[in-house]
Amino acid sequence: MKIQLHNPRREVEIPGPLRASDLCKQLGLNRESVLLIRGDELVTGDALLEEGDTVEARPVISGG
């Protein structure tokens, strides 16, 4: 699957299938500090990501 990352912007290939939480562990991402998006859908930690998926990992931004 293709993973689009930010800061720095890059794209990596990871073999699937893989749970979203395991993907974050493999990439060294804190699951609570990123949103995983497949298509137009937010992906939960237990979602199964498939080989052909494209997933974007966006950093969580908060403000006030």
Asked if residue 17 has pLDDT above 90, the reply is: yes
State the CATH number of the domain containing residue 31. 3.10.20.30
Q: What is the DSSP string of 15-38?
A: -S-EEHHHHHHHHT--GGGEEEEE
- Mean of pLDDT values over 5-17: 92
44 Cβ neighbours under 8 A, 6+ residues apart = 20
Could you tell me the pTM of the whole model? Answer: 0.86
pLDDT digits 0-9 by tens, 29-61? 998 999 999 999 999 999 999 999 999 999 998
Tokens encoding 61? 């931004």
Residue 32 lies in a domain: yes
Asked if residue 21 has pLDDT above 90, the reply is: yes
Instruction: Tell me the residue range of the domain where 42 lies.
Output: 2-59
Question: How far is the C-alpha of 54 from the C-alpha of 16, rounded, in Å?
Answer: 11
Asked if residue 18 has pLDDT above 90, the reply is: yes
Q: What does the CA dihedral 19, 20, 23, 28 come to, rounded to 10 degrees?
A: -140
> Number of structural domains, the chain?
1
